[in-house]
Amino acid sequence: MMSRAARTATVGAGLSLAVALTGAGLEARAASATGSASATVIGDIASLPITIRFQASPVELVAGGVRVRLTDDRSGPGAGSAFGVTLIGVDETGLASFSIAGATTSSYVVRTSAAETSGPAGLAPDGASPNRAEAGLIYPAEVLAEGQGISIAVSQSGGSPRELTVMVHYN
Amino acid sequence: MNTTARLSLLAALLAGAGMVSTSAMAATAVGTANATVLTPIAITAGTALDFGTFAALTGGSVIIAAAGGRSATGTVFLSPGNAGSPASFNVTGDGALTFAVTYPGSFNVTHTNTINTMAVTVTGAATGALVAGAATLPVGGTLTVASGQLAGSYSGTYTMTVEYN
């Protein structure tokens, strides 16, 4: 005959088994995993945009039936090299060149205002042909060495004054 | 009938009655017991949730859809140089069972300076179904970007849980 102590031990073992089975059941029904998330924020040195006004002076170019008029309007606060962007010039094809100041090797992006340009435009590093793209284009972040510039091609149809805002960001 | 004969007859009757009584009081049958042991459900992280590269300007949010695609609100400027991507998790388990997905609450990704943060919420399907014991769970998210958010790389982790329905 089983003693009282032996019966107690047996019951205890049974409860332990039940608890263990319950725990195993929960583990089998659910599982977790840890994922990761990341983001990269690009800095903004040109806190104020350079505004290039399409008007009669000082630059007016006609190339390929497209008239481009540019004025480097940087008379407001933050004008000059502190902007980090300098307008170098515009060639006969309407390609406006800018230089990026202040950075060593850096990633950067350029945004032009969509509503203020018409027709295709493109951006490319110095020495490269701009990709043709819709107005309001974005230039992908790429490495840009200090002293190098980017070229911005802008096409505009019609003669009414318009504005093109160029903003440069880099980290 | 003499006494000896009477006793023999009585003994025989008692013995017979006993046998009848035994077969009428008990019976047996064979039953069956079945059990199905489920393959435990498991989940492992696949690709990471990447919000890509962007400029904060005056802030807003960056949204990565679970099905793919990136958008922004506010003045956040998305750079196409790195368009980001949704996360994926690999779920394994039993046959064609369905499972519920539990997403974490808001968590932070932290700048490499360990100080600056951005809040993230992850989203996706509330349930999933295994096909031949496997399923891929895509996960998107929304990143809240503050005005003038400090430039740099941010990263963080979060926990996803799946459970059989």
Residue by residue, DSSP assigns A2-34 as: --HHHHHHHHHHHHHHHHHHHHHHHHHHEEEEE
Type and span of the H or E element at A143: strand A138-144
CB-CB neighbors (< 8 A) of B164 in chain A: 29-30
The Cβ-side half-sphere exposure at A57, using a 13 Å CA radius, reads 0
d(CA B36, CA B31) in angstroms, rounded, equals 17
Quote the minimal CA–CA distance from A4 to chain B in Å: 32
Cα B150 vs. chain centroid, distance in angstroms? Answer: 37
Interface test with A, best of B37, B50, B53 (most A CBs within 10 A): B53
- Nearest alpha-carbon partner for B68 in B156, B141, B125: B141
B39: nearest CA in chain A? Answer: A28
Cβ–Cβ < 8 Å for A36, B156? yes
Cβ–Cβ < 8 Å for A70, A79? no
- β-bridge partners, A17: none
B108: nearest CA in chain A? Answer: A37
Selected residue with higher pLDDT from A26 and B66? B66
A140: nearest CA in chain B? Answer: B81
CB-CB neighbors (< 8 A) of A30 in chain B: 41, 161-164
Whether residue A35 and residue B49 make contact (CB cut-off 8 A), yes or no, is yes
Type and span of the H or E element at A160: none
Q: At residue B41, does pLDDT exceed 70?
A: yes
The span from the first CA to the last CA of chain B, in angstroms, equals: 81
Has this prediction a pTM greater than 0.80?
A: no
Per-residue confidence band for A33, with pLDDT thresholds at 50, 70 and 90: very high
CB-CB neighbors (< 8 A) of A27 in chain B: 40
Residues 6+ away with beta carbon under 8 Å from B1: B9
When the pLDDT of each residue in chain B is averaged and rounded to a whole number, the result is: 88
**pLDDT tens digit sequence for A35-86:** 999 999 876 544 334 444 443 334 444 444 444 444 444 443 333 333 345 5
Q: At residue B141, does pLDDT exceed 80?
A: yes
The predicted pLDDT at position A32 comes to 96
Burial class (CB in 10 A: 0-12, 13-18, 19+), A99: middle
Whether residue A36 and residue B141 make contact (CB cut-off 8 A), yes or no, is no
User: What phi and psi, each to the nearest 5 degrees, are found at residue A127?
Assistant: 85, -5
- Nearest alpha-carbon partner for B142 in B111, B102, B89, B103: B103
Quote the minimal CA–CA distance from A117 to chain B in Å: 18
**pLDDT tens digit sequence for B51-91:** 998 878 788 999 999 999 999 998 787 876 678 999 999 99
d(CA A117, CA A160) in angstroms, rounded, equals 11
Residues 6+ away with beta carbon under 8 Å from A171: A40, A41, A42, A43, A106, A107, A108, B151, B152
Whether residue B79 and residue A109 make contact (CB cut-off 8 A), yes or no, is yes
Q: At residue B92, does pLDDT exceed 50?
A: yes
Selected residue with higher pLDDT from B99 and A110? B99
Whether residue A31 and residue B152 make contact (CB cut-off 8 A), yes or no, is no
Residue by residue, DSSP assigns B133-161 as: TEEEEEEEEEEEE-TTPPPEEEEEEEEEE
- pLDDT over 70 percentage in chain A: 9
- The token duo for A31 is 């599982």
Query: ipTM of the predicted structure?
Result: 0.80
Whether residue A109 and residue B38 make contact (CB cut-off 8 A), yes or no, is no
The predicted pLDDT at position B73 comes to 92
- The token duo for B117 is 């943060």
Residues of A with CB under 8 A from a CB of B: 27-44, 107, 109, 111, 138, 140-142, 167, 169, 171
